[in-house]
Structure 1
């Protein structure tokens, strides 16, 4: 990958599942079991794709997830995800992209609802390219972790971009006073992400690298 010029961003905070890791197939294979285990409202196969156009709160309402159930569901999914980590891989070109951001002087952090152990296992050798991890985020608590990561790395919100594949990632970045980036290859449908108003929308990993490098 060609060396790119300096950028105004000093920190890029990434979501993990669906953004750096190709975990959507695993999630789809685990979905029906999760619904049955927690006695949620089943979703017919023909409606599954439609869930990708909804926000996290809308999905919870569709499945009839109560607030008191949510922590148990998240905890259960973390445990099962860790057990299946060897079956999940990074998207192609992610290690090269992370390496290029390092060359640009952009620190990279990962803020995820997943466990740090699971994230590290999937990253493998690419773990060395990550400056900071802040995992185990609450479903709607990422903005607090965004702020904490930036503060601990001595980076201002205006110099930070938060990149993810769900509407809640965009909302969390906005709540933290940071720029947001949405990727087209993850969980949420591109149209739903664009409607949420991210600062940047990336159609490919190559485009993301180039636009982060060119940001002024």
Structure 2
């Protein structure tokens, strides 16, 4: 099971720019480049606190970010090697799912039909703190026990959601969270590129 933004899709630059655009609208704390980078070492609740983001605003902001990405979708691309990675895993008999807070429409637009042909299940529009529930739903849908699954992600909340279900977690070092921060939440060595990730998943 894969996260999408920061794991399969190279969207952090877009996210950072868009966050700055909407900061006045949501009365968030303005961040300079150094402060924005510091956010990448925090878990989700701490990020909300640093931004001054009230809980009641979170669904509104999430929906707006999804809509803005849809409007800017031509500027979001998959990371190099994503199609080859998924195709290789599929050829090994693995079942593949994507579980993401982004919208299914955005996922389809970025990955394209050829890459999506390797995917058995797509769970989108997941709330920021709702990944545990949707990962469990995906496991049930695919008929897979937690100990037979792995979730690949780039954020601390991804690792936390997997851990609560007894699902193994592998972190990628090219996404939203800093690699050193995410490493603390997984026993596995962080993957630096798609080749390392393929090797780690194939060895399971």
What TM-score do you get using the length of structure 2 for normalisation? 0.96
* Structure 1 unmatched ranges of 5 or more: 1-12
- 1:48 deviates by 1.6
Aligned residues: 203
8 Å CA contact 2:170–2:186 kept in 1: the answer is no
Where does residue 60 of structure 1 map in the other structure?
Answer: 48
Q: 2:13 aligns with which of 22, 25, 32?
A: 25
Where does residue 3 of structure 1 map in the other structure?
Answer: none
Q: 1:113 aligns with which of 92, 97, 101?
A: 101
Q: 2:73 aligns with which of 61, 85, 97?
A: 85
Higher relative contact order (CA 8 A, sep 6+): 1
State the secondary structure of the residue aligned to 2:56.
coil
Where does residue 146 of structure 1 map in the other structure?
Answer: 135
| Correspondences of 1:58-207 after superposition (within 5 Å) | 58-124=46-112, 125-199=114-188, 201-207=190-196
Deviations for 1:128-148, whole angstroms, at most 9, x for unmatched residues? Answer: 111110100010110111111
What TM-score do you get using the length of structure 1 for normalisation? 0.91
CA–CA distance in structure 2, aligned partners of residues 21 and 45 of structure 1: 22
Question: 4+ residue stretches of structure 1 with deviation over 4 A?
Answer: none
CA–CA distance in structure 2, aligned partners of residues 31 and 43 of structure 1: 9
CA–CA distance in structure 1, aligned partners of residues 187 and 156 of structure 2: 9
8 Å CA contact 2:147–2:166 kept in 1: the answer is yes
- 1:46 deviates by 2.8
User: What's the C-alpha RMSD, in Å, of the aligned pairs?
Assistant: 1.1
8 Å CA contact 1:180–1:200 kept in 2: the answer is no
8 Å CA contact 2:171–2:186 kept in 1: the answer is no
